[in-house]
Amino acid sequence: MSTHRNFLLKFSLIFLLFFHLFAYRATSQVRLPKLVSDGMVLQRDAKTTIWGWAAPGEKVAVSFRGKNYRTTSDQNGNWKIALSPMKAGGPYSMDIKASNQITVKDILVGDVYFCSGQSNMVHQMSLHNITYANDIITANYPQIRHFWIPTTTHLAGPAQDLPPASWKSANPQDVNNFSAVAYFFARKLYERYKIPIGLINASVGGTPIEAWTSEEGLKDFPAMLATVNRNRDTSYVNPIQRRAAAVAAANRQKPEQDKGLTASVKWFDPAYVPKGWRNINIPGYWEDQGIKDLNGAVWYRREIDIPASMAGVPAKVFLGRIVDADFLYINGKQVGNTTYQYPQRRYSLPAGTLKPGKNLLVIRVLNQGGKGGFVPDKPYYIEANGQTLDLQGTWHYKVGDVYRPASGGYEGGINLQNQPTALYNAMVAPATNYTIKGVLWYQGESNAGNPAEYKKLFPALISDWRSKWQQGNLPFLYVQLPNFMEVNYLPSESNWALMREAALQTLSVPNTAMAVTIELGEWNDIHPDNKKDVGERLALAAQRLIYGDKKLVSSGPLYQSSRIEGNKIILSFTNVGSGLTSIDGEELSWFAIAGSDKKFVWAKAIIEGEKVVVWSDEVPEPKYVRYAWADNPDGANLYNKEKLPASPFRTDN
């Protein structure tokens, strides 16, 4: 019996020894961050960092382009190697060896840009696949690579690594998921320099700049730091989130309360006989057409005659934009659905959906707040076999459900992605070891409620990121906000104009450049369709600032100074290029002038050489001038002859 026990004891000891040896070897496997993976682009002409994790004290070897590098992980298992500067080229493979070996394949060496901001940097090529259909199908740029970082947040501090993601090259399939602005930027540079371009995209719609800034970067904003410290406490955050989720669940609208879905014959069914439906126009909001303050479900219905030449073939339905969500039914079958207001509705119909003669189109629209319905000045038609059929005009409507105010009141949770540092911690900090050429930034819409604060936050973010990347005055290229919202035909105040001024003033930060996009917006869409010109203007800025093409005119006119001569104000500009011009050949517009009372009136303005002279008979003693100072200065026409627009400005700041 004793011999048996001794055998069992020895067996147990051997088992434990093997178990611990196996566990040690499992934990000592060298690991790489998500960015260091197949298809990556490494920065040329710079010391490039490769890093990862292993067992404490483990020896790590990296072999790349005929050179060998060695290091030992620290007591926490972190290791880092700086590769020698390299010329552009590829593809190459890299071997990383420790107790195991990893081979990273298809590596290019070129220029890498970190692209960030909110939705207009997010917007993928697929969301603009009508405007850029040809650009998508002809995308054949294997040396342009894009790394899309999924949205994630972290309140407790900087994360160690990014969520799962991978590098993709620009081909007709994968380019659909590229940021459109970033893709057109990269394509312009690649066609000019034939250097591989890597795009690391960290952008999230509807997010403020403070969410992208580190705790150290917010040192001059005590209220935000207080929020950061408060959010670290899970005993504070978690109960708020639970209460908000419970209230939202209690007040969630239920489809079974919609009369159009609970009727014995559903309202989208061709067998349904409509009764009590009223006339309404598409496009248009229902609040502007006799329905007062309705949040709920409104059904739209219309019979459309489809010619035989458009039937039986694949087709598309264009339904502009709808506030908020919609379900499209054709001849009783659901063929489209979008859950929120911003995407343009472009629904593809398989062959056979449309039949010759009468076809029943029914649209169920859900709105949670504000005006509901169909956004004006957008495309509304059916396209098939090279023909189009207009869907604008009179439809019929009936209300299916009316949403009552929340019975328990509104309990707002913490919007994690809008919290100070939350996106920096999760989507930026894990990338700061990765050597880059520069930053692309398109953001500001979510901070338009407080432009004065943004004037401080924006330079703070630039300084913060430069500190984190430890690359000196890292080039920072950014987009000034375009025109948006209704046109005001009287001189007025404007937060969006102040946001543009914040961008203009940030040019005082060294090694920055700005793309002016004042005419590239749309009055009724915060996500304008024209992303190509935005990307290419950023590329122009890069060509001059980063690639040293000093002869290139990379910007439109920028206000420099003014002087008063009698009843006129003489304006001077930089970036006049080959000369100032009115882009449409008309009189200069959107100039306003005021005396010491700052009561602005529209002014006359003419170009004299490289100056603009501004005056008004109503203001005999002028003091101040403003140009394109509005949310949407539609038709602002001061440009240089290189066809680049002047930035909006004011002299009274």
Q: Containing domain of residue 563, as a range? A: 558-650
Angle formed at CA 263 by CA 259 and CA 265, multiple of 5 degrees: 135
Domain boundary among 402, 420, 438: 402
Distance CA 473, CA 494 (A): 32
Angle formed at CA 239 by CA 341 and CA 325, multiple of 5 degrees: 10
Distance CA 284, CA 90 (A): 54
* CATH number of the domain within which 259 lies: 2.60.120.260
* Domain contains 388: yes
* Domain contains 521: no
* Domain contains 610: yes
* Domain contains 36: no
User: What is the residue type of 270?
Assistant: P
The neighbouring-strand residues paired with 621 are none
Domain boundary among 402, 417, 440: 402
Query: Is residue 354 within 8 Å of residue 347, measured between CB atoms?
Result: no
* Domain contains 192: no
Q: Residue 410: is its pLDDT beyond 60?
A: no
pLDDT band for position 221 (cuts 50, 70, 90)? very high
Distance CA 56, CA 74 (A): 6
Q: Residue 331: is its pLDDT beyond 90?
A: yes
* Domain contains 534: no
* Domain contains 266: yes
Domain boundary among 402, 429, 455: 402
Residue indicated by tokens 């309202």: 267
Q: Residue 422: is its pLDDT beyond 60?
A: yes
Per-residue pLDDT of 160-197, as tens digits, reads 999 999 999 999 999 999 999 999 999 999 999 999 99
- Cα-Cα-Cα-Cα dihedral sign, residues 27, 29, 30, 32: negative
Eight-state DSSP code of residue 522? B
Eight-state DSSP code of residue 160? S
* Domain contains 565: yes
Residue indicated by tokens 């993976």: 37
**Count of all residues that appear for the chain in the document:** 653
Instruction: End-to-end CA distance of the chain: give it in Å, rounded.
Output: 96
Distance CA 255, CA 559 (A): 56
Q: Residue 17: is its pLDDT beyond 60?
A: no
Structurally, the chain folds into a number of domains equal to 2
Per-residue pLDDT of 374-394, as tens digits, reads 999 999 999 999 999 999 999
Per-residue pLDDT of 440-456, as tens digits, reads 999 999 999 999 999 99
What is the DSSP track for 263-313?
Answer: SSS-TTSTT----S-EEEEESEEGGGTT--S--EEEEEEEEEEEPGGGSSS
Rounded to the nearest 10°, the torsion over CA 69, 72, 78, 84 is -20
Query: Is residue 478 within 8 Å of residue 234, measured between CB atoms?
Result: no
Eight-state DSSP code of residue 529? S
Distance CA 373, CA 265 (A): 24
Per-residue pLDDT of 277-301, as tens digits, reads 999 999 999 999 999 999 999 999 9
